[in-house]
Structure 1
């Protein structure tokens, strides 16, 4: 065996650093293209700056635009949550008493519930 345990830990550390850097660069590029306040030239300038001086550009971007980055992410998550809620409401529909009674009648006709259970469901729907 040519390596040692400490060499292994050092390689894991450097792999972690590489992964974190790649993650930060991807996050910055995604934020750049989601930001509607920047024009195309500004976005191109940031991308070129990230390619030429990646660590310096990432540090400057996070300092200069970090707060806006967080706000855009919160807005995006809020919008996604609201779209999810709207979708759930549209799929679930509004349950009216007539719809509940109709569903209970179908269950009664199929033999899934008894007449007493049907009467209970109908009373609940009308209450």
Structure 2
């Protein structure tokens, strides 16, 4: 350790961190290439070959050329997942339990969804939301 100064250790760690960041970006770019609906098969193959044969330059070119649409696709996918999750929760809550409280549970779920929507729009404060939620759940 005597012949490896602290500054060299710092630079090694920095380059290692940048390499790991680049790997994450490479995997994100490859996933985005396959996920993109607006690219045809040949365009996907071309971007993939560019990203794999000229790794640093190919990823950089892809992010410059398609970075904005890449972010939009991420947002759309997150919204779709959130909507699917909410639909699943709503469906699971309205199926009811074994004691026949399905109607009551479904109305509570609808009321909670309306409350959450009001809170998201800013029509009610978080404190009002919490109070109304506790009243519904009791």
After superposition, where does 1:79-98 map in structure 2 within 5 Å?
A: 79-93=80-94
- Distance in 2, Cα, partners of 1:44 & 1:60: 15
Name the Cα RMSD after superposition.
Answer: 2.0
Aligned length in residues: 99
- Distance in 2, Cα, partners of 1:59 & 1:20: 13
User: Given the alignment of the two structures, is residue 55 of structure 1 paired with residue 71 of structure 2, yes or no?
Assistant: no
Higher normalized contact order (CA 8 Å, seq sep 6+, divided by chain length): 1
Q: Helix, strand or coil for the counterpart of 2:101?
A: helix
**Taking structure 1 as the reference length, what is the TM-score of the superposition?**
0.71
**Alignment gaps of 5+ in structure 1:** 103-127
Give the match for residue 78 of structure 2: 77
**Taking structure 2 as the reference length, what is the TM-score of the superposition?**
0.65
Give the match for residue 28 of structure 1: 29
**Alignment gaps of 5+ in structure 2:** 105-138
4+ long deviations beyond 6 Å: none
